[in-house]
C-alpha cells in the first residue's frame, strides 16, 4: 500500500423518495477496525485511534486524541541507546516527503509510559508502519500509523515451546518412574523365585521356576535396553542418572 485518497462525503438517498439518510459513521468504523491504528494529521497530531491500539498501548482515547504522536511515547532520557522517537520522526517525514508508505525496523519500546508512582512501563518489540492518505489534490491529508506487538507473539511462541518441552520431560519422568517400579517388582519376584528354586527338590518344579526366571531376566533386559532409551530420546533427558541402583 502506497497511499490512500480522501473523497468528499457522499450524500446517500433512499429510493424513490430521494430522502437523504445519514451515511456510515467512519470514526466508529475506524475505532472498531481490527488492528492497532492511529490517524494522524500532517503535523502528527492524533485525530483517531482504534480500540485495538488503545488496548495494546494500555491508554485511553482521551489521553491521546489531539496530542502529538512523538509526545505520547518519548524516548527514555536515561537510556543512551534509545532512538525510537527519532526513528519515528524520520519515518513520518519520509512519508510526508515521498507520499509513500514507510515500514520501520522492529524496535524495543514501552507498552505504556508510567504515571507518577505507577512503577516502570512494560517493554516489548514493536513493528511500525506509516501510510499516507492523500486528498483529491494529491496532498497529504492524514497518515495511518500502524503498530504490531511482535514481541508478545514471539514470547508466546517461546512460552508455548517451553511448556511443551516441560510436558515431555514430565511424561518421561513419570514413564521412567513407572518402569523403575516394574523393574524393581520383577527383580523382587526373581529373588523370591530363586529362593524357592534353592529349596526345592522336585526337578519338574525347578525346571518351571528356571523358565520363569529366564522370562523375567529377558523382560528386565528388554526394559533396560529398549524402553528406557526410547523414553530418553522422546523427552530429551538423560534418564540413566535417574535409574541409578535399578
Rounded distance between C-alpha atoms, residue 1 and residue 49, angstroms: 20
Average pLDDT score, the chain: 77
Arithmetic mean of pLDDT, 73-92: 73
Q: What is the pLDDT of residues 187-197, one digit of tens each?
A: 888 888 888 88
Arithmetic mean of pLDDT, 36-50: 96
Arithmetic mean of pLDDT, 43-72: 92
Domain boundaries, the chain: 4-150, 157-243
Q: What is the pLDDT of residues 144-183, one digit of tens each?
A: 999 998 776 555 556 666 667 777 777 777 777 777 878 8
Q: What is the pLDDT of residues 116-125, one digit of tens each?
A: 444 445 567 7
Arithmetic mean of pLDDT, 103-130: 67
With pLDDT > 70 as the criterion, what percentage of the chain qualifies? 67
Q: How high is the pLDDT of residue 118? A: 46
CATH ID of 4-150, from 1.10.1060.10, 3.40.50.1450, 3.40.50.720, 3.30.450.20: 3.30.450.20
What cell numbers appear for 193 in the block? 523365585
Residue 44 buriedness (CB in 10 A; 0-12 / 13-18 / 19+): buried
Q: How high is the pLDDT of residue 232? A: 66
The model carries a pTM of 0.52
Task: Tell me which residue has cell 492524514.
Answer: 142
In this prediction, residue 225 has a pLDDT band, given cuts at 50, 70 and 90, of: confident
Amino acid at each position: 500500500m502506497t497511499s490512500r485518497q480522501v473523497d468528499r462525503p457522499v450524500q446517500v438517498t433512499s429510493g424513490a423518495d430521494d430522502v437523504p439518510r445519514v451515511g456510515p459513521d467512519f470514526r466508529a468504523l475506524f475505532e472498531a477496525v481490527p488492528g492497532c491504528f492511529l490517524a494522524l494529521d500532517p503535523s502528527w497530531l492524533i485525530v483517531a485511534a482504534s480500540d485495538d491500539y488503545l488496548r495494546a498501548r494500555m491508554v485511553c482515547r482521551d489521553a491521546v486524541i489531539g496530542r502529538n504522536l512523538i509526545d505520547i511515547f518519548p524516548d527514555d532520557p536515561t537510556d543512551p541507546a534509545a532512538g525510537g522517537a527519532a526513528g519515528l520522526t524520520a519515518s513520518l517525514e519520509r512519508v510526508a516527503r515521498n507520499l509513500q508508505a514507510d515500514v520501520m525496523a522492529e524496535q524495543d519500546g514501552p507498552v505504556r509510559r508510567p504515571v507518577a508512582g505507577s512503577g516502570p512501563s512494560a517493554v516489548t518489540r514493536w513493528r511500525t508502519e506509516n501510510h499516507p492518505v492523500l486528498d483529491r489534490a494529491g496532498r497529504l491529508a492524514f497518515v495511518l500509523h500502524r503498530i504490531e506487538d511482535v514481541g508478545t507473539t514471539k514470547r508466546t511462541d517461546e512460552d508455548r515451546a517451553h511448556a511443551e518441552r516441560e510436558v515431555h520431560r514430565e511424561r518421561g519422568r513419570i514413564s521412567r518412574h513407572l518402569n523403575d517400579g516394574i523393574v524393581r517388582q520383577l527383580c523382587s519376584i526373581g529373588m523370591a523365585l530363586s529362593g524357592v528354586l534353592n529349596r526345592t527338590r522336585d526337578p519338574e518344579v525347578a525346571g518351571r521356576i528356571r523358565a520363569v526366571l529366564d522370562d523375567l531376566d529377558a523382560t528386565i533386559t528388554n526394559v533396560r535396553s529398549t524402553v528406557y532409551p526410547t523414553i530418553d530420546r522422546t523427552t530429551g533427558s538423560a534418564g540413566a542418572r535417574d535409574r541409578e541402583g535399578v
